[in-house]
Amino acid sequence: MAVKTRIQYAAVTDIGLYRASNQDAFLACADLGLYAVADGMGGPPGGDVASQTAMTVLFEWAAAHSELPSERVLREGFNRAQDVILNEVAANPLLMGMGTTLVAATIVGSIMTVAHIGDSRAYLYRQTVLRPLTEDHSVVNEAVRLGLLSREDARRDPRRGLLSRAVGCDDWAEPDVATIGLLPGDQLLLCTDGLTGLLDDADIARCLSRPAAPLDQCRRLVQAALDAGGIDNVTVLLLSVTA
Ligand code: CA
């Protein structure tokens, strides 16, 4: 029997304490059941352009193809975003090297599909357990997966911001896609590395363990990242599933 669920959501983005601009972006559209977070790179103006472009293209693609299965909407939407970003770079040398991470979720009924490229993450918090739904496409995480680096050393590695897959950045990348059945009480977090670079999973789980409205949860997470140093732009988007 299908589980009936309702979704409440909120998002907060913050420039952080040291950056001159906020190159993160987010998208939340309840009508489409589409939620996404992106973290632009390539310095101004490219980083801002890349993350905003990814949001716009993904939204327009999903709105125009809502009849397609979620996995196709996301895969083809990601591909479309890459096309547009690479074409913008080809047309404007000032944008050379720009790219973005992209993590997106669609929810249809109680089924969630998550796709990502880069090191922005999705987590599921269910019954006091925080479960990562994404594996960072980063140079240090690839080394961790190969057993060449410990998770603890990876957090301090100077290469930790270096991505092995990005949307744009002159290279073609395919997203990883996963499908999960949602249950009442679940919280889904999409976030940029401005959060996860400063808070470990236990810190994030502690924030989510105290019941609160999604906006209050988002504010609590962002404040925790700022309190931990706020060295990067930080963006969180939280979905709360109720019966
Ligand atoms: Ca970042």
- Position 2 scores a pLDDT of 60
Q: Is pLDDT above 60 for 59? A: yes
CA angle 175, 158, 47 (to 5 degrees): 50
Å from CA of 192 to ligand 1 middle = 6
Q: Is pLDDT above 70 for 227? A: yes
- Position 132 scores a pLDDT of 97
Å from CA of 213 to ligand 1 middle = 25
* Residue whose C-alpha is closest to residue 85's, from 73, 71, 72, 101: 101
Angstrom distance (rounded) from CA 58 to CA 60 = 6
Amino acid letter at 107? I
In angstroms, how far is CA 22 from the centroid of its own chain?
A: 15
Å from CA of 161 to ligand 1 middle = 8
The predicted-structure confidence for 85-127, as pLDDT tens digits, reads as follows 999 999 998 888 899 999 999 999 999 999 999 999 999 999 9
Angstrom distance (rounded) from CA 241 to CA 36 = 17
**% residues pLDDT > 90 (the chain):** 85
- Mapped onto helix, strand or coil, the DSSP state of residue 99 is strand
The predicted-structure confidence for 163-181, as pLDDT tens digits, reads as follows 999 999 867 899 999 999 9
- Mapped onto helix, strand or coil, the DSSP state of residue 191 is strand
Query: How big is the chain by its Cα radius of gyration, in Å?
Result: 17
Mean pLDDT for 27-50 is: 91
Report field, pTM of the whole predicted structure over 0.85: yes
- Position 3 scores a pLDDT of 63
Å from CA of 23 to ligand 1 middle = 8
Higher pLDDT, 237 or 159: 237
Å from CA of 193 to ligand 1 middle = 5
The predicted-structure confidence for 189-203, as pLDDT tens digits, reads as follows 999 999 999 999 999
Å from CA of 99 to ligand 1 middle = 12
Asked if residues 120 and 55 have their Cβ atoms less than 8 Å apart, the reply is no
Instruction: Tokens for 43, please give them.
Output: 């310095």
- Position 4 scores a pLDDT of 72
pLDDT band of 152, cuts 50, 70, 90: confident
> Which residues, in sequence order, are CB contacts of 126 under 8 Å at separation 6+?
183, 185, 186, 187
